[in-house]
Structure 1
Amino acid sequence: MASVQKHFDFVSIGAYTKDTIVTRSGTRYVDGGGYSYSAHAARLADVSVGAVTRLAAEDRKSTDLLRSVGVDVIIHESPQSTLMRLEYPTDNVDERILTVASVADPFAPEHVAAVRCEAALISPSIRGEVPLEVVEALRKNARLIGLDVQGFVRIRTEQGRLAYERWPEMKQVLSLVDVLKSDAVEGEFLTGEKELHAIARTLASYGPKEIVLTHKDGLMVLANGKTYEHPFLPVELRGRSGRGDTCVGSYLSRRLNADPAEATRWATALTSLKLEAEGPVRRTRADVEALIAARYR
C-alpha cells in the first residue's frame, strides 16, 4: 500500500543525537540532532513544519518537545541512536572535540518518499547518514533544498573521534542544493580559503545559489552576488551546540516569505536568542521581532 503523502512548508531531515556536552562549567546531557534544532527554529516563521528522523525505540520520547510545539515528527526506528560527545576545551566556541560512540542506521529514499514540501533542510551529523540517493529523492519533492555540510565532511575515525575528510560526492550533491550552510572551519576545509567572503564565493561556485556561513561572531549570507552580515548578540552565551542548525533552519524557513536581507536579519536575531540557553530555541516570534527592532535595524 502506498504511503500517505505529508505536505509541509518546511521539513528537516536528520538523525536524533543523544549528546553529552562538556565545557569548563560542567557536563550536561541533551537531546540533540540538527533536524530538531532547525525544526524548532523554523516553527517561529509561522510555517507548517515537519521533521523526519532516525532513532532507537527507547529514544522516541525525545521527540515529545517538538510535537508539543506543533511539529509533525516522522520516526523511522534504528537499532541504535547516534551517541555524541561534544567537548569545548576553551572559551572559543568554534574549538570543539567531537566523539561518537554509536550511529543510527542511514536514511533511505523510501524514508522521504511521501514527503512534499516547499523547503527541505538536510541536517545529518556524520557522513553516510544521508546518502546521495536520498538527496536526489528530496530534490523531486521540494522547491528548495538546504543542506548542512557538517554531515558530509565529518567521518568517524577508528578511535571514535569525528574528523574532516575529503568529500568525493561534493559536486554531485551540491548540484542539487539551493542553500548551503557551513561554519568557518568547515568552509576553510572545503575551499582552502581562510577569509569569510572568499570561502562564501568559492562555495557558491560549486552550485548553491545561497551560502549561509556561520562563525564565532555572527552570520554571513551570500545570495545573488550580494553579501549580508550581522553579529550574534546574545545577552550571555550558554547554548553553543545547535547554533548552526538553528541558524540555517531559521534562514531557510524565513526565506519562504522574505528576501535574503530580511531572512539574514531574522536568522541572526533568532540564533542570538537560542545562544542564551542550552537546547533548542524556546523563545517566541515576538521575542525575535523585538530583538530585530532593537538591535538589527
Structure 2
Amino acid sequence: MVNIHYDTFIMGHISIDEIIYEGTYEKSIGGAVIYSSYAAKAGGSKVGVLTKVAEEHIDLLRNFNVSKADIYSTGSKGTTSIRNEYLSKDKERRICTALSIAEPFTMEDLPDIDSKIYHFAGLIAGEFKENMIEALSTRGLVALDVQGFLRNAENGKMVFRDWSNKKKYLPHIDFLKTDAAEAEIMTGCQDRREAARVLYGYGAKEIMITHNTEVLVYNGKNYYTAPLKPRNLSGRTGRGDTCFSAYITERLKEGIEKALIYAAALVSAKMETPGPFKGTRKDIEEYIKQFY
C-alpha cells in the first residue's frame, strides 16, 4: 500500500551549469528539476523529486530545498552539465552546449509513491522513456515541459527539433509548457495564440506558452495572459521552469486566472535574483499587490 503522497512529483536531471554573459563566466547548479522544486515548495506544496547524478556528484542533492526523504536518486554513470552562452541583453538568445548527460529515466526508477501531479521537468531529448507519459497519466495529472523532448544534443551542440511522437503523447498531457520558439517548432505558427490552439487540437488539455513579455494559457475555450514585470534580468535562467511549476501547483486549488497571476508574479520576482526562487507565498502576495 502506498503511504507517501505528494502534490507534485518532479522528475528531471540536475545540471552543472556554466553561464557566460557579457564576458563573465560563472558556474552554478541548475536544471529544471531544481527551479521547479523551489517554486512548488514556495507555494506550500508537498514536493517529491526524482533525479540522477553520478556517485561523485551526490553532494549536488543538497541543492534541493525539500527534505532528504523526499529526494529519490537512482544513480548514473554521468551527471548532466550544460553551458549557456547568452548573446543578447534580454537573454532571449543563447547558445547551449551539452557537456555531459546523465542516464535516462524509466518507469522502474519511480519509487512507491503517488502524486496529484507528475511533472516531467526535462532538459534534453532522451531524458525520459516516452512510455512514462502514458503510464503516469493513469495515476494522476501529467505536466510536461517540451524542452525535454525538443532539445537534442548533437555532438554537444543543442539543436531544437520537432517531437516526432507529439500526437501520440499530447492527449495524455494535462499541462503542457512551451516557450514561443518551441511552440513555433511544434506547430509552424509564429502567433502564440494560434500555436496554443493547434497544440490543444493535438490533445493537450491546458497549454502554457512563455514569452519575455507575458505568459499565455489556453484551455480550449479561453485565452488568459499575464505580463512579466521583473525589474532586472539577473535571474533570467530558470524562468520557464519556475513559472510552470508555480502555475501547475497553484492550479490544484485555484482557477486559471488566479494561478496565472500568481505564477507570473513569482517568476518576475525570481528573475530579479540569480538562482531558484527562495521567497515565500507572502512575498508573492506582496509582489502582486505592488505590481499587479
TM-score by length of 1: 0.94
Does the 8 A contact of 2:34 with 2:63 survive in 1? no
How far apart are 1:224 and its partner, in Å?
4.3
Contact 1:41 1:250 (8 Å CA) reproduced: yes
Equivalent-residue separation in structure 2 for 1:253 and 1:71 (angstroms): 20
Give the residue type in structure 2 aligned to 1:132. Answer: E
What is residue 267 of structure 1 aligned with on the other side?
Answer: 263
Distance in 1 (alpha carbons) for counterparts of 2:291 and 2:67: 27
1:217 equivalent to 2:213? Answer: yes
Partner of 1:168: 164
TM-align CA RMSD:
1.7
Match of 1:100 in 2: 98
2:150 equivalent to 1:153:
yes
> How many residue pairs are counted as aligned between the two chains?
292
2:247 to 248, 251, 260: 251
After superposition, give the CA deviation of every residue in 1:45-103 in whole Å (9 maximum; x if it has no partner): 21211111111122222221324678821111101101100110111322111000110
Match of 1:10 in 2: 8
Deviations 1:11-69 (A, max 9, x none): 11111111001111511111111111111101122121111111112222222132467
Distance 1:270 1:230 in 2: 12
In the alignment, the residues of structure 2 paired with residue 43 and residue 121 of structure 1 have an alpha-carbon distance, to the nearest angstrom, of: 14
Q: Which moved more, 1:16-25 or 1:81-90?
A: 16-25
Helix, strand or coil at the partner of 2:138: helix
Contact 1:18 1:32 in 2 (8 A): yes
2:100 & 2:90 partners in 1: Cα distance?
A: 27
The aligned residue for residue 45 of structure 2 is: 47
Amino acid at match of 1:180: L
Secondary structure class of the residue paired with 2:181: helix
CA contact (8 A) 2:12 2:123 kept: yes
Identity of aligned residues (%): 34
* Range moving further from structure 2, 109-118 or 264-273: 109-118
Asked if the contact 1:113–1:138 (Cα under 8 Å) also holds between the matched residues in 2, the reply is no
Alpha-carbon distance between aligned partners in 2 of 1:111 and 1:29, rounded to the nearest angstrom: 29
CA contact (8 A) 2:81 2:100 kept: yes
| Rounded Cα–Cα distance in structure 1 between residues aligned with 2:5 and 2:105 | 19
Structure 2 length normalisation: TM-score?
0.95
Q: Secondary structure at the match of 1:181?
A: strand
1:179 maps to a residue whose letter is F
List runs of 5+ in structure 2 lacking aligned partners: none
Cα distance change of structure 1 residues 41 and 67 upon mapping to structure 2, 3 Å threshold: closer
User: Aligned residue for 1:30?
Assistant: 28
Report if aligned partners of 2:200, 2:220 keep a CA contact under 8 Å in 1.
no
Alpha carbons of 1:136 and 1:42: their partners in 2 closer, same or farther (altered >3 Å)? same
Note the residue ranges of structure 1 that are not aligned, 5 or more in a row. none
SS across alignment from 1:55: coil
**8 Å Cα contact 1:115-1:141 kept in structure 2:** no
Q: How far does the alpha carbon of each residue in 1:169-189 deviate from its partner, in whole angstroms, 9 at most, with x for none? A: 111221210010000011111
Q: 1:286 to 1:70 in 2, by over 3 A?
A: farther
Please list, as runs of the form range in 1=range in 2, the aligned pairs for 1:30-179 lying within 5 A after superposition. 30-67=28-65, 72-112=70-110, 114-142=112-140, 144-158=141-155, 160-179=156-175
Alignment partner of 1:292 out of 280, 288, 292:
288
